[in-house]
């Protein structure tokens, strides 16, 4: 149970970092209405007793920093490079699995061919044994 909570906390931290990166990149202006810094479920009064001047919202600290166009281009270059590498890895996995999939399809074709040949063989052998069991009609008309 503890590991699941830790995993959820880690996922929330990653999501928070991703959202802050997106907001930092797009440079949204601060929102006109204030948000409470403490959640209603928290019972600590220490966060509510802080003066308003000491509270810093995460979106205001992100919006005040300045990045150069080179940093912005570098961010998108890194994202495109990671997507290209992911595509290349996917292509290589598919390329490595292609002979195995082809071999599996050929095995199924051979199994179907053997099955059809055995059915055809039973049909031919069955008709030969049927002809042996029947009396010859040539002896009747003599």
User: Looking at residue 29, what DSSP letter applies?
Assistant: P
- 32 with 60: CB under 8 angstroms? no
CA-to-CA dists, residue 90 to 7, 86, 87, 125, angstroms: 27, 6, 5, 52
Give residue 104's pLDDT.
97
Whether the full predicted model's pTM is greater than 0.95, yes or no, is no
Segments of the chain with pLDDT less than 70: 1, 25-67, 129-142
Rg over CA atoms, the chain: 37
Dump pLDDT digits (tens) for 39-65. 555 444 444 444 444 555 555 555 455
Longest Cα separation, the chain: 126
Question: Residue length, the chain?
Answer: 142
Separation between Cα atoms, residue 131 and residue 138, nearest integer Å: 13
Dump pLDDT digits (tens) for 11-24. 888 778 777 777 77
């Amino acid at each position: 149970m503890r590991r699941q909570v830790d995993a959820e906390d880690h996922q929330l931290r990653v999501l928070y970092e991703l959202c802050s990166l997106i907001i930092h990149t797009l440079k949204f202006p601060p929102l006109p209405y204030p948000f409470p810094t403490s959640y209603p479920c928290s019972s600590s009064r220490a966060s509510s007793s802080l003066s308003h001047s000491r509270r810093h919202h995460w979106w205001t600290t992100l919006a005040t920093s300045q990045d150069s166009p080179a940093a912005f281009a570098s961010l998108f270059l890194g994202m495109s490079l990671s997507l290209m590498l992911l595509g290349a890895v996917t292509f290589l996995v598919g390329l490595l699995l292609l002979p195995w999939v082809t071999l599996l399809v050929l095995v199924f074709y051979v199994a179907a061919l053997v099955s059809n040949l055995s059915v055809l063989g039973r049909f031919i052998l069955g008709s030969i044994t049927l002809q042996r069991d029947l009396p010859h009609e040539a002896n009747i008309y003599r």
